Amino acid sequence: MSLPVNLRAVMDEMDMAADEMTAYINCKTGELITLTDEDFSYAEDDDTNALIPDWQKELVEKAKMILADDDYIELPGRFEINDYSIMERFCYSVEDERVQNALLQAIKGKGAFRYFKDRIHEEGLHDDWFAFRDNALKQIAADFLKIHEIPHSDE
């Protein structure tokens, strides 16, 4: 990938990250890559080179490059994205008070994500939710790129 960075590609990379995965962007070239904790573990330990599966060797080399190169910066992860906060904001954006209250009740306590998902399906808000979440991710990605002065496009 080259500059300007495609905003959708950044959003997709951010959305793919999980607890054991981290997404990075090269602020000079726009290259995006997501690596696992295991990739970095292998990259930091030269004694394990013989143990690295062939399919993972290229990823470990990328991890070594990221560790050695300040041009790579971590994209916003789950903590910065905060899906719960996005769900809560969506609930408050719903104008129908009955539905809003039902959604707010669904996100309280254990199982909030599952109950929320069930409720948006019951209320026929599935498409509205995904459009809202997509817009929130877009804003987070655009703000991140702006802060780091990385040019981007929506196309």
The 10s digit of each residue's pLDDT in 7-56 is 999 999 998 877 789 999 999 999 999 999 999 988 888 776 777 888 88
The DSSP symbol for 48 reads G
Does 62 lie in the same domain as 31? yes
Does 105 lie in the same domain as 50? no
Cα distances (Å, whole numbers) of residue 107 to 80, 112, 148: 19, 4, 33
Does 38 lie in the same domain as 86? no
User: Domain total for the chain?
Assistant: 2
If phi over 0 gives left and psi between -120 and 50 gives alpha, with beta otherwise, what is residue 111? Answer: left
Question: In the prediction, which pLDDT does 23 show?
Answer: 94
Does 95 lie in the same domain as 137? yes
Residue 48 lies in a domain: yes
Q: Is residue 139 scored above 80 in pLDDT?
A: yes
Residue 7 lies in a domain: no
Residue type, 153: S
Residue 154 lies in a domain: no
Q: How far is it, in rounded angstroms, from Cα 47 to Cα 51?
A: 9
Residue 83 lies in a domain: yes
The predicted model gives 90-112 an average pLDDT of 95
Question: In the prediction, which pLDDT does 1 show?
Answer: 62
CB-CB contact of 60 with 52 (8 Å): yes
Cα distances (Å, whole numbers) of residue 131 to 126, 137, 152: 9, 10, 21
Question: In the prediction, which pLDDT does 117 show?
Answer: 95
Q: Is residue 72 scored above 80 in pLDDT?
A: yes
Alpha helices per DSSP H over 21-110: 37-44, 57-68, 78-81, 83-93, 97-106
Residue 5 lies in a domain: no
* Least confident residue range of 54-58, 61-65, 93-97: 54-58
Residue 55 lies in a domain: yes
Does 69 lie in the same domain as 95? no
Domain that holds residue 32: 18-74
Q: Is residue 140 scored above 80 in pLDDT?
A: yes
